Amino acid sequence: MEAAPNASNFLQRHQDYLGEFVYGGIDGSVTTFAVVAGSVGAGLDSSVILILGFANLLADGFSMSVGAYLSAKSEAHNYNKHKNVEYWEIENMPEEEREEVREIYRQKGFEGPLLEQVVDILTTDKDRWVDVMMKEELFMMEQRRSPLAIGAVTYVAFILVGFIPLALYLYDYFFPFAGDLFWTTCALTCLGFATVGGLKSYVTETSIWKGVLETLALGALAAGVAYLVGDVLERIIVG
Amino acid sequence: MEAAPNASNFLQRHQDYLGEFVYGGIDGSVTTFAVVAGSVGAGLDSSVILILGFANLLADGFSMSVGAYLSAKSEAHNYNKHKNVEYWEIENMPEEEREEVREIYRQKGFEGPLLEQVVDILTTDKDRWVDVMMKEELFMMEQRRSPLAIGAVTYVAFILVGFIPLALYLYDYFFPFAGDLFWTTCALTCLGFATVGGLKSYVTETSIWKGVLETLALGALAAGVAYLVGDVLERIIVG
């Protein structure tokens, strides 16, 4: 497989954050579609859909994006905590830490006097020494993505894709819609799922069809659950 | 700061997945609390809360955990894709790749004949060579956490913590509750947020108060948004 340096367009440059876009987008539309499907399953009024759909869209979008931001910040914090531990260990038990470096480079194929020279050089500079320990002992990599950007991308995707299941109900509130509101909304939402899934596959250079079908199946199953729960609970509680 | 090897209890051993637990738990309770707060803000019946609350809990929990699973799987896929590119480059343009290893180890403080010896050994074995490129050129680390476990932890946390805002309404359905349903639910939900936030801080060894307040503020703001949107839209739509 080969990298495609010429395809370094907008999507390629932003693929670091594409996971968040896909994740946030799917969650947004499932959240609002769950309100739509649950309400329709339970035979509730479409004013309920608009009220609770938007309440959920804004509250959940806020919560998910701030959650993603905090989670990324906490990961960075955790990295720094372990880094400080390594600095402490190098300061207070240098021989044990030297032996760890020795073992790591022994496994890379070094031995004898060359191994000792390599260990000497790597342990001369404390920053480089800690860098070896972080990557090779703890398998930890510094997060190079911005927690703020992670939160922002999640928010935009959530609101944007999450608006789709509500769009027709909002339109219908102002200009009565001639077709079947629920099934047209289902079709629009499927289109949204498929677009997000396809986008993901395009950028990660995997099979477009697999991405589209995977996302569609996920969304359809989640929506089906919401419809069924709404329908069954309506019979039990109201019916 | 010092590691606490003796505190390697259940929580410590599972802290790899704690981010998912906190993230899933908060999102679960915000989702259901948004239904509660939005419905109360809009003056809707508590049967709506039960129906749409559970529809949202199950559908969104499903979507979020499958989303987390797919996202982790896609990350692993992306890692392997880049790894294959590195194997291809080593095979087809070994001199450029040797020069990259040379540059990486020059920056670690190696020079002259020792640098050449180090490069020779690191590039003898293709797996080790690719390992250097992945960590030091691409800054990519193999995901050592199971995508399935990530999905499962997210699901359990979402359902468990997300059930809290619905618990009292469910109880009230069977045995009429004497107190104020909404405000008691608010208190219970706050307790849930605080517990999750505190748990996170305890395991990541950060300030408990900061963790509790951060999570509480996030949850309260999200819930406030849901209540306000429900209230405002109810006035506009239902009048």
Inter-chain touch A71–B23, beta carbons under 8 Å: yes
**What is the rounded CA–CA span in Å between residue A153 and residue A16?**
11
> Is the pLDDT higher at B129 or at B9?
B129
pLDDT in tens, B215-234: 888 888 887 888 888 888 88
Contact B87, B126 (CB under 8 A): yes
Examine the fold and report which residue of B113, B137, B161 is the final residue of a domain before the chain moves on.
B137
Tell me, what's the pLDDT at A70? 80
Q: What percent of chain B has pLDDT over 70?
A: 93
Assess whether B185 and B163 both reside in one domain: yes
Assess whether B218 and B116 both reside in one domain: no
* Residue B97 pLDDT level (bands cut at 50, 70, 90): very high
Under DSSP, the state recorded for A138 is S
* Residue B11 pLDDT level (bands cut at 50, 70, 90): low
Residue A142 within a domain: no
**Residue A182 in 3-state DSSP?**
helix
Contacts of residue B63, defined as CB under 8 A and 6 or more positions apart, other chains included, come to A26, A27, A30, A31, A218, A219, A222
Task: Pick A58's closest partner by Cβ from B67, B84, B229.
Answer: B229
Which residue range forms the structural domain that includes residue A130?
Answer: 74-137
Inter-chain touch A229–B51, beta carbons under 8 Å: yes
| Residue listed under structure tokens 């003898």 | B124
Mean of the pLDDT values across residues B2-13? 49
**Residue A218 in 3-state DSSP?**
helix
* Residue B12 pLDDT level (bands cut at 50, 70, 90): low
Q: How many CB pairs under 8 A join A and B?
A: 254
Examine the fold and report which residue of B137, B156, B189 is the final residue of a domain before the chain moves on.
B137
Examine the fold and report which residue of A86, A102, A137 is the final residue of a domain before the chain moves on.
A137
| Residue listed under structure tokens 């996030």 | B218
Tell me, what's the pLDDT at A8? 47
Tell me, what's the pLDDT at A13? 54
Q: Which residues of A touch B34 (CB under 8 A)?
A: 52, 55-56, 59-60
- The dihedral over CA atoms of B119, B122, B125, B126, expressed in degrees to the nearest 10, equals -80
Assess whether A173 and A196 both reside in one domain: yes
Task: Pick B233's closest partner by Cβ from A50, A68, A225.
Answer: A50
Mean of the pLDDT values across residues B74-89? 89
Tell me, what's the pLDDT at B13? 54
Contacts of residue B222, defined as CB under 8 A and 6 or more positions apart, other chains included, come to A59, A60, A62, A63, A66, B30, B33, B34
pLDDT at B3 over 70: no
Assess whether B108 and B221 both reside in one domain: no
pLDDT in tens, B164-212: 999 999 999 999 888 899 999 999 999 998 888 888 787 777 788 888 8
Residue B9 within a domain: no
Cβ neighbourhood burial of A179 (10 Å; 0-12, 13-18, 19+): exposed
Residue A195 within a domain: yes
Q: Which residues of A touch B22 (CB under 8 A)?
A: 67, 71
Inter-chain touch A109–B117, beta carbons under 8 Å: no
Task: Pick B60's closest partner by Cβ from A30, A50, A124.
Answer: A30
Residue B35 within a domain: yes
Assess whether A60 and A80 both reside in one domain: no
Tell me, what's the pLDDT at B239? 66
Residue A171 within a domain: yes
Task: Pick B237's closest partner by Cβ from A47, A68, A142.
Answer: A47
Assess whether A155 and A67 both reside in one domain: yes
In order, the DSSP letters of A20-74 are HHHHHHHHHHHHHHHHHHHHHHTT--HHHHHHHHHHHHHHHHHHHHHHHHHHHHH
**What is the rounded CA–CA span in Å between residue B145 and residue B94?**
32
Mean of the pLDDT values across residues B38-65? 87
Assess whether B80 and B196 both reside in one domain: no
The total number of structural domains in chain B stands at 2
Q: Min CA distance, B127 vs chain A (Å)?
A: 10
Q: For B76, name the nearest residue in chain A, comparing CA atoms only.
A: A204
Lowest mean pLDDT among B16-25, B88-97, B149-158: B16-25
Q: Which residues of A touch B208 (CB under 8 A)?
A: none
Closest CA to B31 of B64, B52, B57: B57
Contact A36, A49 (CB under 8 A): yes
> Is the pLDDT higher at B97 or at B14?
B97
pLDDT at B9 over 60: no
Q: Which residues of chain A have pLDDT under 50?
A: 1-8
Residue B44 within a domain: yes
**What is the rounded CA–CA span in Å between residue A207 and residue A198?**
9
**What is the rounded CA–CA span in Å between residue A65 and residue A29?**
15
- The distance of Cα B175 from the centroid of its chain, to the nearest Å, equals 36
In 3-state terms chain B splits into helix, strand, coil percentages (rounded to 5) of 85, 0, 15
Assess whether B161 and B64 both reside in one domain: yes
Cβ neighbourhood burial of B48 (10 Å; 0-12, 13-18, 19+): buried
Residue B54 within a domain: no
Residue A5 within a domain: no
Mean of the pLDDT values across residues B129-138? 90
Assess whether A186 and A112 both reside in one domain: no
Assess whether A79 and A63 both reside in one domain: no
**What is the rounded CA–CA span in Å between residue B105 and residue A93?**
25
Closest CA to A143 of A74, A214, A199: A74
Q: Min CA distance, A7 vs chain B (Å)?
A: 16
Which amino acid is located at B180 in the chain? Answer: D
Assess whether B68 and B153 both reside in one domain: yes
Closest CA to A2 of B99, B140, B92, B131: B92
Q: Give the mean pLDDT of chain B.
A: 85
Assess whether A61 and A165 both reside in one domain: yes
> Is the pLDDT higher at B5 or at A58?
A58
Task: Pick B128's closest partner by Cβ from A70, A109, A118.
Answer: A109
Q: Which residues of B touch A110 (CB under 8 A)?
A: 118, 121
